[in-house]
Amino acid sequence: MRYISTRGEAPALGFEDVLLTGLATDGGLYVPESLPHFSVEEIRSWRGLPYAELAYKVMYPFVEDAIPADDFRKMLGETYSVFSHQAVAPLVQLDTNEWVMELFRGPTLAFKDFALQLLGRLLDYVLEKRKQHVVIMGATSGDTGSAAIEGCRRCEHVDIFILHPYQRVSEVQRRQMTTVQGDNIHNIAVKGNFDDCQRMVKESFGNQSFLSGKTQLAAVNSINWARIMAQIVYYFQASLALGGPDRSMAFSVPTGNFGDIFAGYLAKKMGLPISQLVIATNRNDILHRFMSGNKYEQHQLEHTLSPSMDIMVSSNFERLLFDLHGRDGAAVKDLLERAAKGPVSIEDYRWKHARKLFDSDAVDDKTTCDTIRDIYEKNEYLLDPHTAIGVRAARNCRRDSTVPMITLGTAHPAKFPDAIAESGLVVKPQLPAHMADLFEREERYTVLDNNVSEVQGFIAKHWKNA
């Protein structure tokens, strides 16, 4: 399988090179030249498979040119054996035909573990084969950083530099990153917001001269295709558990960078019956404004109780735009260049095509807290603020009550105690046993100005062989 850039100018690459490259040389994102497609009969035959084996069935076509089947199966078995629930992604029922899929049973209590536990093993495998060293540079709005560090900290051939917005992630999220010890782990708190951090990462990938040609950058953000690939699997898992593929499913996805919901879009294109995808956002609602009114316009970023979605530049949205424009890279490049200068829209027929599958909603902090309280009072089930936004958006946008609606539960509520307290509940979410001493562990991080040269200088000085 070959991978092409959403901007049409970079050369097509194989899986190994896409894994290590992240951002294409033309500034675009890599997507498969073509997708595998599974028949209803084939999907039905996967019922009852353990999660790791289902992951093999869904993902192997993407990597078969690079990794032998037995090696990939072993990698997947190791990846999902560290999750705290035998089902890996268990479903919890909230109401008639309404479910939450718990994606926070991994080691860092967030859905990012599904992809980043695998990504670390993929990097180790490929870098060992190539006898190559890379520098991982990533930006996080809260959860990606800890999942990337946990997934990659044992990799012998990487140094990890994670940027997070200073004082704009929850304390639990910060400590999960900054208390992991290792000479190859570096946390950078940038005096800015997530979009500033993400911009620095993209700029650094575009010009890596600060590394003097001694190593290269590798991506852990959802710009890396391997992240998206791994997230496709749990859509199949949820569907199979609730009667799919013989009945269609609807999903509500709390999303800021559009990666998690784009994986659902791909699952549908690969043959899984999905009738509706709900984009659930907070006050930083650029995706909702586009999907509801065909206007893509950046506003001032706001700090909310759901910080992992405090994002205004949704990188993976480019991958959907590429499909909506008939995979015309030049058209996507032109649109995004205009979007950087002001509001843009796409042709009405393209937008209406997207609306056949996608709906959207934006949920403010008050409604988020109301939803947390309401679900707990009726079900004694505690939602984190991001999942609460997903549940509220699902209820506001649901098209057909006979179709199962599944909200992706993206994080453990213990990561966001301030939101739980603000909802008026006296219950205090507890960290699981393996994290019980989190607030006693020593932290290590460096605060830097919102300046790309300063960040690049820090990386150039501190990677292993600098």
- Answer for the pair 199, 313: CB distance below 8 angstroms, yes or no: yes
Q: Contacts for 448-455 with beta carbons within 8 Å, 24 or more apart? A: 448/188, 448/189, 448/190, 448/191, 449/190, 449/191, 450/190, 450/191, 450/192, 450/196, 452/199, 452/200, 452/203, 452/204, 455/163, 455/188, 455/190, 455/200, 455/204
For the record, the structure tokens of 162 come out as 């994670």
Taking residues 305-321, report their average pLDDT. 93
- Answer for the pair 80, 223: CB distance below 8 angstroms, yes or no: no
Average pLDDT value for the chain: 95
* 191 to 100, 165, 201, 257: CA distances (angstroms): 35, 6, 15, 20
Q: What pTM does this model have?
A: 0.93
- Answer for the pair 51, 89: CB distance below 8 angstroms, yes or no: yes
3-state secondary structure 144-195: HHHHHHHHHCCCCCEEEEEEEECCCCCHHHHHHHHCCCCCCEEEEEECCCHH
For residue 22, the model assigns a pLDDT of 80
pLDDT tens for residues 431-454? 999 899 999 999 999 999 999 999
For residue 76, the model assigns a pLDDT of 98
Which range (122-126, 354-358, 387-391) has the least confidence? 122-126
- Band (pLDDT 50/70/90 cuts) for residue 221 is confident
- Answer for the pair 263, 253: CB distance below 8 angstroms, yes or no: no
- Band (pLDDT 50/70/90 cuts) for residue 416 is very high
For residue 236, the model assigns a pLDDT of 98
Catalytic annotation present for 112: yes
- Asked if residue 324 has pLDDT above 90, the reply is yes
Q: Which of 317, 321, 326, 260 is nearest to 287 (CA)?
A: 317
- Asked if residue 354 has pLDDT above 90, the reply is yes
- For the chain, the distance separating the N- and C-terminal CA atoms, rounded to the nearest angstrom, is 35
For residue 23, the model assigns a pLDDT of 86
- Band (pLDDT 50/70/90 cuts) for residue 223 is confident
d(CA 233, CA 116): 14
DSSP character for 209?
G
List 57, 74, 112, 191, catalytic entry: 112
- Asked if residue 199 has pLDDT above 90, the reply is yes
- Asked if residue 185 has pLDDT above 60, the reply is yes
Around Cβ 275, how many Cβ atoms within 10 Å? Answer: 16
d(CA 219, CA 16): 13
d(CA 263, CA 228): 6
For residue 313, the model assigns a pLDDT of 87
* 372 to 279, 348, 408, 416: CA distances (angstroms): 19, 37, 15, 12
**Chosen CATH of 89-107+227-422 out of 3.40.50.1100, 3.90.1150.140, 3.40.1190.20, 3.40.50.11720:** 3.40.50.1100
- Asked if residue 466 has pLDDT above 60, the reply is no
Question: So where are the chain's domains?
Answer: 89-107+227-422
> DSSP assignment of 324-356, as one string?
HTTT-HHHHHHHHHHHTTS-B---HHHHHHHHT
- Answer for the pair 241, 49: CB distance below 8 angstroms, yes or no: no
- Asked if residue 359 has pLDDT above 70, the reply is yes
Taking residues 81-105, report their average pLDDT. 97
- Asked if residue 290 has pLDDT above 90, the reply is yes
For residue 366, the model assigns a pLDDT of 98
- Band (pLDDT 50/70/90 cuts) for residue 464 is confident
Q: Which of 329, 321, 334 is nearest to 262 (CA)?
A: 321
- Answer for the pair 43, 273: CB distance below 8 angstroms, yes or no: no
- Asked if residue 210 has pLDDT above 70, the reply is yes
Task: Calculate what percentage of the chain has a pLDDT beyond 70.
Answer: 100
Which range (18-27, 235-244, 369-378) has the least confidence? 18-27
